[in-house]
Amino acid sequence: MKKEIIICRCQDITEQEIIEAIKKYEVLSVNEIKKITRAGMGHCQGKTCRKLIEMIIKRETGELVDDKPVFRPPSKSIPLYQVEESEETFQEVIKRGRGGHSD
pLDDT in tens, 73-96: 666 777 777 766 666 666 776 676
Phi-psi group of 97: left, alpha or beta (phi > 0 → left; psi -120 to 50 → alpha; rest → beta): left
Using CA atoms, how far apart are residues 7 and 72, in angstroms rounded to an integer? 19
Alpha carbons 11 and 37: distance in angstroms, whole number: 9
Give the model confidence (pLDDT) of 21-66 as tens digits. Answer: 999 999 999 999 999 999 999 888 898 999 999 999 999 999 888 7
Q: Taking the domains of the chain in order of start, what are their residue ranges?
A: 6-61
CATH number belonging to domain 6-61:
1.10.10
pLDDT, residue 83, reads: 66
Alpha carbons 42 and 77: distance in angstroms, whole number: 14
Q: Is the pTM of this model over 0.75?
A: no
> Which is more confidently placed, 99 or 13?
13
In angstroms, the CA 3 to CA 29 distance is: 26
